[in-house]
Amino acid sequence: MDWDDSPQQAKFRAEVRAVIEKHLPERYRSGDGPEERAWEFDRKSDDPAAREAAIEWQQALTSRKWVAPEWPAEFGGAGLTPDEQFILNQEFAASGAPGVGGSGVRLLGPTLIVHGSQAQKEKYLPAILNGETAWAQGYSEPGAGSDLASLQTAAKRDGDDFVVNGQKIWTSGAHTADAIFALVRTDPNAPKHRGISFLLIDNIKTPGLSVRPLIDMGEHHYFNETFFEDVRVPAGNLVGEENRGWYVAMTLLDFERSNISAAVGARRTINALIEDLREAGVTPSDAARGAIADRYVETEVMFNFSFRIISMQNRGIIPNYEASTSKLFASELNQRLALTATRAFGLAASRWDDGSAAGKYTNSYIRMVPATIRGGTSEVQRNVIATRGLGLPRG
C-alpha cells in the first residue's frame, strides 16, 4: 500500500491547506483539535465573536461547495471523490477546522437525495447548505437505544397532519438546532422493524415540542431530552413511504466512514501529552511510559484502519464491518488515551477543572465516557464485526 499522495492528491491537499490558512478564523486555530459541533454551537452563541467566526467559516466553505463535499454537484455539493473527501477531512482535523452543516449535511441531506420528494429537496437542501437550518437527529429513546427498532414515539394521522407524542433522548445539539428529523411509530400493531416512519419537523419550536438539557458529569451541555406533546406535523413532511421509515433511516449515506478525524485527533492528543509532560517537568512511572508507548502505536494503527476504508471506497466497495472496526477502535482508544494521560500526571490530574495541563486530560476522560455508547455501542459494533466480518452465528 502506498501511503503517499499522488501528484493530483498532493495538489488538492495544497489547495485545502491554502484555504484553511487564508480563511479559518483564529477562534478555531487551537492545538486541541476541533470541538464537536463547534460550528453549530457557535452560530447560536451569545458571543458575537463566536457567531461571526461561524458565519465567516461557513461562507468560505460555501464558495467552494465544501459544506457538503460528498453530495453530488447537482444538489449543491462538491461531488468530491472518496480520496478527496479523505484529504479534506484529514486537513480539517489537523488544523482544528470544524465541519459546517452538522447532521443536516451528514445524515439528512443524503437521505433526502435518495428518498425525498422533489419539493422536499428544493425546500430543505439549500437551507442546509447555506447555514440557514441546522438539524438535530431524533432517534434514541429511553427504552430504545441500541435496539432502536423498539422506539415508541407515536405519530397518528389526523387529516393532513401527523400528531406526534413521545420522547427522544441524547438528542445531540437540539438546543441550538432549528429543526429535527425523527423516527416515529405509525403502526403500533406491525412488527417492530415495520410500522416506523421518517418525519421532518422543520421548526424545533413547533407547539408541543420541548427541548430540555442533559448536563453531563463534566458540566458540559451537549445532549438533550426532547418531548413531543400533540405536535402536529404536515403529512407532506413524511420522507419515503409511511411505515417504511426504518428502511429510509438505514440508507443514511455516510460517505466519510474512514474516521480519519478520530485518527488525526488521537495523534494530536498523544503528541500534546508528551509535550505537556515535558513542559510540566513530570517524569512518568515506568508503567505510565509503557502505556504512552502503547497508545502511540495504537494511534498509528487507527490511521491504517482509516487508510483501509478509504482504499475500499476508492475501489467502489462500501465498508461494512470495516467501519464498525474503525469506530470501535477509535472510541475505545480515545478513552485509553485520556486515562493514560491522567495516570501519567498522577495526583496532579485530580485538579480536573483548574485549567492545568493535567486537568485538561482528566476533563477529557470524563467527556470520553459516552464515546463507547453513542453512534452505536461497543457491544453493537462487536456484534457487527462478529457476524458480518467473521461469519459467526447470531446467538
Cite the active site residues: 256
Q: Which of 67, 66, 55 is nearest to 105 (CA)?
A: 67
Give the three cell numbers for residue 315.
Answer: 475501489
Pairwise CA distance, residues 191 & 182, whole Å:
19
Residue 130, all three cell numbers: 447555506
Give every CB contact of residue 228 below 8 A, 6+ residues apart in sequence: 153, 164, 165, 166, 167, 168, 208, 209
| Pairing, β 196-201 against β 209-215 | unpaired
The C-alpha cell that represents 175 in the structure block: 438546543
Instruction: Fill in the DSSP letter of residue 67.
Output: S
b or e along 184-202 (b: 16 or more beta carbons within 10 Å of the residue's beta carbon)? Answer: bbbeeeeeeebbbbbbbbb
Strands 135-138 and 179-185 turn out to be: parallel
Q: What is the CA radius of gyration of the chain?
A: 22
Contact 248, 16 (CB under 8 A): no
CB-CB contact of 90 with 260 (8 Å): yes
What's the residue count for the chain?
395
Q: CB of 208 within 8 A of CB of 232?
A: yes
A 10 A CB-CB count for 207 gives: 10
The number of CA neighbours under 13 Å toward the Cβ of 111 is 27
392 touches 383 (CB < 8 A): no
CA distance 207 to 343: 49
